[in-house]
Chains A and B, each alone.
Chain A
Amino acid sequence: MTATTLASPGFRPLAARTGLIGLALVVIAMVALFVGVRYALMLLIGLGFGVALEGFRFGFAGPWRAMILRREPAGILAQLLSIAVVACVAIPMLASHPQELTGAQAPIGFAMIGGAFVFGAAMQVVLGCGSGTLVNAGSGNPVGLLALPFFALGSFAGAYHLIWWTNLGALPILTLRGTPGLMITLVGLALVAAVLLWLGKPGSWRLPRRYVLAALTLAALAIANLVVAGQPWGVVYGLGLWAAKGVTALGADLSGSAFYAAVGSEERLNASVLTDYTSLTNFGMIAGAFGVAAWRSGGLSQPLPSYPARAWIVTIIAGLMLGYSSRLAFGCNVGAFFSGIGTGSLHGWVWFAAAFAGAFLGIRIRAVSGLEARP
């Protein structure tokens, strides 16, 4: 190969892309070697989530906004399709392997419903839910990058107070199990889809190809997550754990929190972050989104947008609210809505209704936040 070829414009992206793949493989191999093969697989699955979400430009907050503002239901229909595919595999698998696998099951309660409402509002303010904030940060979105550390702090604070909030009143955990549970879940998803189609613009039943591919890819990765980790895809636990590890490293005592004083929490605080499943998929999502942005022609060379000071303040507050509320709600779009419904938990349905209601408020707040031009 001549020097001219090496310096040619076509060679540089090729070298960069080869380098990205090589670096990812080296990191995964190192995790397999020095931490464990299961953890390397979880990092690989997380990379897949990041590549799929950024590569197909698919998420949760944007499609909800499209439905509310423009009556375009395609994105939410794709979300429902993905959840349906997960449910078809996960609910029977959970029934046949109850000891090895666990669903995203949580109790419905006052704090859970309120938390989901606030989360739905906050995610529309920054246009990013749990996975969306990670992907946005990884792909170089400055709003996502600023929101992320405050999301983690909020998640830590929410977990710190979680038991106090759940003591306000909650039902026992209610789950849809086995074949009847799967049937009810699929009928429920179909009913929601029918309502969305009825409310949507004429002809809105047609899903773009990239949405179908995104839905099926996410479903396959979510099922792989369950098979490898024994638990469903989640986001916010990992973020709270990072902040908890940070504050304990600074000397804070968490024994005053019923959540962090529990044996299970203490064990995880004292274990490597590379052995925490949600942390690994979160790391993978950030890295996968960065990889796609770097791979995509012009992805990282876009100039950063300019926002007024109040937009950054709103982003910080929204980040804190995202984290705190999602712990009270027992998850974000991923942990509660996607994985909750996909594994038969009734709290996922209640979460969806409350968060969708909150999204109406969040869209109004965003309009005056300075994060976009006022309509």
Chain B
Amino acid sequence: MTRLLTGSLAIAGVAFVIGLDTLRTPPNPYQAPPMLALGSGLSTSGGFCGALPS
């Protein structure tokens, strides 16, 4: 066995997470924010490991 197996498993894991999540919560491109946060005039809203939830 080589690293091709383990590397492929990692990629398959990513595809599995995205695939399963997309079936449960499909994205909506019409709700997409502006391309850049800088200059958008909008406050940030993403989750971050340093932030406590609002």
Contacts and interface: CB of A to CB of B under 8 A. Distances in A.
Interface of A: 33-39, 41, 93, 97, 99-102, 104-106, 137-142, 145, 148-149, 162-163, 166, 226-232, 234-238, 241-242, 245, 249, 259-260, 262-265, 268, 270-278, 283, 286-287, 290, 293-294, 299-304, 326-327, 330-332, 335-336, 339-340, 345, 347
25 contacts: A34-B27, A100-B43, A102-B44, A106-B50, A138-B7, A140-B4, A140-B6, A140-B7, A227-B38, A232-B48, A236-B49, A249-B20, A264-B53, A268-B47, A272-B22, A273-B18, A287-B14, A290-B7, A293-B7, A300-B2, A301-B3, A304-B1, A326-B49, A327-B49, A335-B50
Interface in B6-53: 6-7, 9-11, 13-14, 17-18, 20-22, 24-27, 29, 31-53
B39 A100 contact: yes
B49 A301 contact: no
Contacts of B41: 99-100
Chain A interface main SS type: helix
Contacts of B3: 139-141, 293, 299-302, 304
Nearest to A138: B10
Given A33-B29, A262-B53, A326-B49, 13 more contacts: A100-B41, A102-B44, A104-B50, A141-B6, A166-B52, A228-B36, A229-B44, A229-B46, A232-B48, A265-B47, A272-B26, A276-B46, A335-B49
B47 A276 contact: yes
A139 B9 CA distance: 10
B10 A331 contact: no
Interface of B: 1-7, 9-11, 13-14, 17-18, 20-22, 24-27, 29, 31-54
Given A140-B4, A237-B48, A272 B40 contact: no
Contact of B10 (A148, A263, A268, A304): A148
Given A105-B50, A273-B17, A37 B7 contact: no
B37 A242 contact: no
- The winner among B11, B37, B40, B45 for most chain A CB atoms within 10 A is B37
Nearest to B2: A301
Contact of B37 (A101, A148, A259, A290): A101
Contacts of A237: 47-49
A13 to B, nearest CB: 14
Given A93-B38, A97-B38, A229-B37, A340 B2 contact: no
Contacts of B38: 93, 97, 100-101, 226-228, 230
Given A230-B44, A301-B2, A38 B33 contact: yes
B49 A235 contact: yes
B36 A242 contact: no
B52 A272 contact: no
A262 B7 contact: no
Nearest to B20: A249
Contacts of B40: 100, 230
Contact of A39 (B2, B21, B32, B39): B32
A102 to B, nearest CB: 5
